[in-house]
């Protein structure tokens, strides 16, 4: 079973627009991570946010974490065609070492 559930499953936007995707999880976490995957290739780590952090930025990426609601969001600002990919959230538990991935959000950025 998957710890994280992502919403929406797919997203289509125009270049220059912002893309927002959400991730919900069920159990206590140590950190939550976001990854990008281009068309069946390996995953690329985007950002890690710890359970005691509420917001984190990296370039055009902004991640929020609400541990009371067990949810996180990833915002990509000023999207580009190259941002077309699947985005996954993954949770690392408070104790233990098993990273659990959500189902992913497929993002299509149209030029």
Partner 1 sequence: KAGVTQTPRYLIKTRGQQVTLSCSPISGHRSVSWYQQTPGQGLQFLFEYFSETQRNKGNFPGRFSGRQFSNSRSEMNVSTLELGDSALYLCASSPSRTFNRLETQYFGPGTRLLVL
List residues near partner 1 by CB under 8 A.
Answer: 2, 30-31, 33, 35, 40-45, 48, 88, 90, 92-93, 95-104
What is the closest distance, in whole angstroms, from the C-beta atom of residue 43 to partner 1 in the complex? 4
DSSP the chain: --S-EEE-SEEEEETTS-EEEEEE--S-EEEEEEEEE-TTS-EEEEEEEETT-SEEEETTEEEEEETTTTEEEEEE-S--GGG-EEEEEEEEESSS---EE---EEEEEE-
Tokens describing residue 40 = 């069946």
CB distance 77 to 15 below 8 Å: no
17 vs 100 by CB, closer to partner 1: 100
Nearer to partner 1, 2 or 67 (CB): 2
| Residue 14 C-beta: closest distance to partner 1, Å | 27
Give 41 or 69: the residue with its C-beta nearer to partner 1. 41
- Minimum gap (Å) between residue 15 Cβ and partner 1: 27
Nearer to partner 1, 77 or 103 (CB): 103
């Amino acid at each position: 079973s998957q710890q994280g559930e992502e919403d929406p499953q797919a997203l289509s936007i125009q270049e220059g627009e912002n893309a927002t995707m959400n991730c919900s999880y069920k159990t206590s976490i140590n950190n939550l991570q976001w990854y990008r995957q281009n068309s069946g290739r390996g995953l690329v780590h985007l950002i890690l946010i710890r359970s005691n952090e509420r917001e984190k930025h990296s370039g055009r990426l902004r991640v929020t974490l609400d541990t009371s609601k067990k949810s996180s969001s990833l915002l990509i600002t000023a999207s580009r065609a190259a941002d077309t990919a699947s985005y996954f959230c993954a949770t690392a538990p408070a104790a233990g070492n098993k990273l659990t991935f959500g189902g992913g959000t497929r993002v299509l950025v149209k030029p």
